[in-house]
Amino acid sequence: MIIVTGATGKLGRRVVERLLERVPADRVGVSVRDPGKARDLADRGVRVRQGDFDDPASLVHAFEGAERLLLVSLDRAGEDCVAGHRIAIDAAVKADVGRILYTSQMGAAHDSRFQPCRDHAATEDLLRATGLPWTALRNGFYASSALQFLEAARRTGDIALPADGPVAWTGHDDLAEATAAILTGETRFEGSTPPLTGAAALDLDTIAEIASRVTGRPFTRTVVPDDAYREQILAHGAPSHLADLLLSIFAAARNGEFTAVAPTLAGLIGRAPVPFEALLGRAWTEESATGPAVS
C-alpha cells in the first residue's frame, strides 16, 4: 500500500489524485489530521486514517501496511518542524514501512540562508539514520510562492520586492505527477533526487517582462531595501519571525541557492514542465474570472 500524509493539502491532495490514475484505490491510504476532510477519498475506496504529527501512536496506526510512505513536509519552521518530522520518521520505523519518500526542497543544506532548507537538510539526516530505504524529493521552489509575492504587483504594475536572484519556480501539478510516478515504482531514487524543477531559473526582472507579456500592460521592477521591506511586512500585522522568514527567501536567492535546473522532472512526467509564464497566466486569468484579488 502507498500511504500519503498531508493528503488534504495543496501537494498531498494532488499526489493522491495522480496515484488514483495509476493504481486501484484500495492500494492507496492517507494519513490526515482531520479524516472528515478526506471523506470523499474514503467514498472512492481510499483508506483514510487519522494521523497527527503530535501523536506518535496515531501515525504508527496510519502508516500500517505501507510499502511506500510519502511524508509531506510540515508547514512549520525550525526545531518545531524537525521535531514533527522526527516523530513521523520514528513512527514509520515502528510501522515497518518499506520506503520513506520525503518532500524536501532544492537547496536543502545545513548552511542555507533559508530556514526551511536547513530543516530539510536536518530531516534528510534523520532519514539517513533510519537504515530504511529513503528518497528525498528535492522539489523546485513552489511557483505558488512567487504568485503570492506578486499579488501587490498585479494591482500596481510594479514588482517592489527585495534584491533577488534566479529561482527555478515549479508548479504543484508537475511535482505531484512526478511524485506519483516515483511512488508507484516507475522510477527509483536512493537518497536525494536531482533538483525536480522546470527548465528555467528566473529573477524578478525577467518575471516583470513575463507579466507584461501575459497581461499586455507594462510591469516595472523596483528593488526595496531589506529593512524597508521588513517594516512593510510588520506594518501589515505579520509577526517578526514571519518577516525574517520571507526576507531569507530573497537572501538565499541572492546566494544562488535556487538556481539549479535539471531535466529530471521532465523525464518523470514525460513532457516539459509547465513554464512559469503559463502558470502565471493561468492563475491570474482564473482569479480575474472569480473576482478581483484581495490583499
Q: Is the pLDDT of residue 294 over 80?
A: no
Confidence of residue 293 (pLDDT cuts 50, 70, 90): very low
Q: Is the pLDDT of residue 291 over 60?
A: no
What is residue 86's DSSP assignment?
A: H
CA dihedral 85, 86, 91, 97 (to 10 degrees): 70
Average pLDDT over residues 102-106: 97
CB atoms within 10 A of CB 11: 23
Provide the pLDDT for residue 103.
Answer: 98
Which CATH number is 2-140+172-192's, of 3.40.50.720, 3.40.50.1110, 3.50.30.30, 3.30.1390.20?
Answer: 3.40.50.720
Q: Please state, rounded to an integer, the average pLDDT across all residues of the chain.
A: 94
Confidence of residue 63 (pLDDT cuts 50, 70, 90): very high
The tens digit of pLDDT for each residue in 76-88 reads 888 899 999 999 9
Q: Tell me the percentage of the chain whose pLDDT exceeds 70.
A: 96
Provide the pLDDT for residue 188.
Answer: 82
pTM here is: 0.93
Provide the pLDDT for residue 286.
Answer: 65
The tens digit of pLDDT for each residue in 192-222 reads 999 999 999 999 999 999 999 999 999 999 9
The tens digit of pLDDT for each residue in 29-50 reads 999 999 999 999 999 999 999 9
Confidence of residue 171 (pLDDT cuts 50, 70, 90): very high
Cβ contacts of 27-31, under 8 Å, gap ≥ 24: 27/1, 27/2, 28/1, 28/2, 28/3, 28/4, 29/1, 29/2, 29/3, 29/4, 29/62, 29/65, 29/66, 30/3, 30/4, 30/5, 31/3, 31/4, 31/5, 31/7, 31/59, 31/62, 31/63
Provide the pLDDT for residue 185.
Answer: 86
